[in-house]
Amino acid sequence: MENKVALVTGAAGGIGEAVVRVLAERGAIVAALDRDELRLNDVVDRMKAEGLTVRAFAVDVTSSNEVEAVVAQVEEDLGPLDYLVNAAGVLRLSEATVLTDADWALTFAVNTTGVFFVSRAVVNRMVTRCRGAVVTVASNAAGTARVEMSAYAASKAAATMFTKCLGLEVARYGIRCNLVAPGSTDTPMLAAMFQPGGPGPAASIRGNADAYRVGIPLGRLAAPRNVADAVVFLLSDQAAHITMHDLTVDGGAALGV
């Protein structure tokens, strides 16, 4: 991956930050994108101090105009994009019958429409060069029903099928499009799900019969690096004949389904 140019959304923390780091450690030139400019700059400054080649670009992935402008700027500043990772995401917990209009709209705007905007902007450039690889970070919830996660699960299911259809359409240009579907991962998004004073991560590991969650057979949360390693594998030449694939990284929580 030496001197390959990569764009990663959701780069200010969690899985996105881990993906940026793994790519940069392998020699890639990484454009790190996020809406949270302060956190993004902090992440990028720390990586630069370690000698990694990373640049920060602030963007709201729910804005088509902003996305088109930032992708053009990335290619002007860093060179033609070889890799795209869609890692930006939001989670709003609520039972479906009381889910607000605003939470539903935001969830789809980031998790689904954002994937569409960024993928369209990047892949339209990749097809002119007949090369490139895309990975969308989805979720095991895209294929497994979860209590209070209807908006999140639906948005990730939509992003999953969009990415597979995109992969089918651009395969003739040599562009591969795959997915990584994490389960419970030790990130700020997961931490926000736990009530103060509650059981915390142990609840995810042990499972909850009342919520129809079986727990994690491997007995631990994923580290962001575990997910990032799967993402980078699918981008790499080791996965040169893999496209439209959905790789689940959840410690067995979805029981392999």
**More confident call, 198 vs 247:** 247
Whether 173 is catalytic is: no
- By CB neighbour count within 10 A (0-12 exposed, 13-18 middle, 19+ buried), where does 134 fall? buried
CB 146 within 8 A of CB 187: no
Q: Which of 65, 132, 117 is nearest to 73 (CA)?
A: 65
Q: Cβ atoms within 10 A of the Cβ of 174, count?
A: 15
User: What's the whole-model pTM score?
Assistant: 0.95
Which domains occur in the chain, in start order? 5-187+224-248 (3.40.50.720)
Q: How confident is the model at residue 202 (pLDDT cuts 50, 70, 90)?
A: confident
Q: Which of 167, 67, 159, 155 is nearest to 117 (CA)?
A: 67
pLDDT of residue 191: 78
pLDDT of residue 101: 98
Which stretch of DSSP H or E encloses residue 24? helix 14-25
- Please report, rounded to a whole number, the percentage of residues in the chain having pLDDT higher than 70: 98
The Cβ-side half-sphere exposure at 234, using a 13 Å CA radius, reads: 29
Structure tokens at 77: 């500043």
**What's the average model confidence in pLDDT over 68-89?**
98
pLDDT of residue 195: 64
**More confident call, 193 vs 206:** 206
- Return mean pLDDT, the chain: 95
